[in-house]
Structure 1
């Protein structure tokens, strides 16, 4: 991956359709998410299409799905499939995996295999959709493995469009996505690199507090147009958290084109913009280290 060529690194994009056309969510939950985000099209792009989209924009993209088989009963898209498909596009795509913490020791073994054999760069958790509290000891062996492997763990935080408007929210419980629950994870696993995904409505101040207090906790700005960011998030992104805030879009529900256009209008210091758009992610994901190790 040629970092000098890239204009940005999007740390939050979704692969929601498998090779066989199988979706990562049930039609009911996927439809609720599309309605919540006012998606222009219910069609989900495949990984090759995601790669072409980002390559055209000279961007890299972190790609993942969510394994929520225990809570939803819906079969996941295999992590191996996503990693193998991303490997066809190493100039543009960065594979993350998702493992349901309810899978216990089998999940730990899978995490190690994915990093060691497929060079997966991190792991995505969606506590509300996966039906677990981040501070549940059930998940600790998986966190420990991810910490030892030296890759980040990305946690959905705040409200979610998945299940919105469905009776009972589709069984999705918002309280599991309070960033204060991840504070316990950061305290117990101090070498684990953590990303709190999204402006964490209604817990934005909690997310900022955790990121300021815990050295390896970062925040990605995905899922919201920047014009809706709360003022304290903008202020911290430009000052105290300038080295710990990351560009993310939530593609395909929010495009990087729209995100970047609205980001340009924010009151962010000029010298901080390249940190948010690329440099912080390159360092966190180890891409800068890869460049140093590549022979000239």
Structure 2
């Protein structure tokens, strides 16, 4: 099983490496209705706030794009089950021309989580794993998470970490109890040092730790940065400077759909001062290389 084999790189104009599966066929809500509503207000969401996996596929197919899609497993902190990883992977199998499956395993699951990682890669072709330290309530360099990372490295998969401020909980009293301290990208620097060879993506402009994220990405060959979660018109100048120069081969297009649509993100990106030769790298080429996609997909 798995996705990405059917993606035609000659056809797709961009690869969005950061989209969320928020609706399961079984119903439910992985972070709670109040936080969902607040995040919609924070991001000024346009259009469908909670698209199904089939709707996500249709949205990107209509735009001749591919996307990485994942749930977020916060069950140990919230008590709420995520969209099942298997459901995301099966949707990618049903839409192999568009969807690239990532999964999410709560690092609190330890040895059980490590077994889940291996099974999801081996049986479902999952390409990577999403962590959200602020929602999962852990520091990425906590040794208790290392069993899960070891399984990811052994499986040849990618680890994607939320970094910086989160829109989840923004505007809710006490931020909904969500603590930003867990998502400083310097904690991921330890992970990169301890797991050389494991590709890592630092998600989002890492406000208020943008320079820390850039430093880690420059210093650690395996570390990339995705640009999701912010409209490009708000990008810090230093991020644009590094994307145009030292990190031009390690910066990735990501929207954070459905809270930010690819249309909205790309319209703002078009106005950004990005070199013509760098623009296609950010929009597609860097992601294709990182994800191991080939110009002529397997049949």
Aligned position for 2:234: 228
Q: Name which of 245, 250, 255 aligns with 1:249.
A: 255
Aligned position for 1:8: 14
Alignment of 1:49-64 (within 5 A): 49-64=55-70
Cα distance, 1:42 vs. partner? 6.5
Aligned-partner Cα distance in 2 for 1:107–1:213? 29
Aligned position for 2:111: 105
Relative contact order higher in (CA < 8 Å, ≥ 6 apart): 2
Alignment of 1:208-223 (within 5 A): 208-223=214-229
Mapped contact 2:40–2:49 kept (Cα < 8 A): no
**Are positions 1:67 and 2:73 aligned together?**
yes
Aligned position for 1:114: 120
Aligned-partner Cα distance in 2 for 1:284–1:159? 25
CA change 1:169–1:226 in 2 (3 A) is same
Q: Name which of 144, 147, 159 aligns with 2:150.
A: 144
Aligned-partner Cα distance in 2 for 1:200–1:228? 12
Q: TM-score, normalised by structure 1?
A: 0.96
Q: Name which of 20, 41, 50 aligns with 1:44.
A: 50
Aligned position for 1:30: 36
Cα distance, 1:38 vs. partner? 1.8
Mapped contact 1:211–1:217 kept (Cα < 8 A): yes
Give deviations 1:125-152, integer Å, cap 9, x for gaps.
0000001000000000111110111111
Match of 1:94, SS? strand
Aligned position for 2:194: 188
| Unaligned stretches of 5+ residues in structure 1 | none
Aligned-partner Cα distance in 1 for 2:80–2:150? 27
Mapped contact 1:16–1:25 kept (Cα < 8 A): no
Mapped contact 1:154–1:196 kept (Cα < 8 A): yes
Aligned-partner Cα distance in 1 for 2:175–2:281? 37
Aligned position for 2:131: 125
Q: TM-score, normalised by structure 2?
A: 0.95
Cα distance, 1:66 vs. partner? 0.4
Give deviations 1:176-206, integer Å, cap 9, x for gaps.
0000000000000011100000000000000
Aligned-partner Cα distance in 2 for 1:121–1:92? 14
Aligned-partner Cα distance in 2 for 1:56–1:43? 18
More off after superposition, 178-187 vs 41-50: 41-50
Aligned-partner Cα distance in 2 for 1:162–1:227? 21
Cα distance, 1:39 vs. partner? 1.9
**Are positions 1:203 and 2:209 aligned together?**
yes
Aligned-partner Cα distance in 1 for 2:167–2:48? 14
Aligned-partner Cα distance in 1 for 2:229–2:298? 34
RMSD: 1.3
Cα distance, 1:24 vs. partner? 2.2
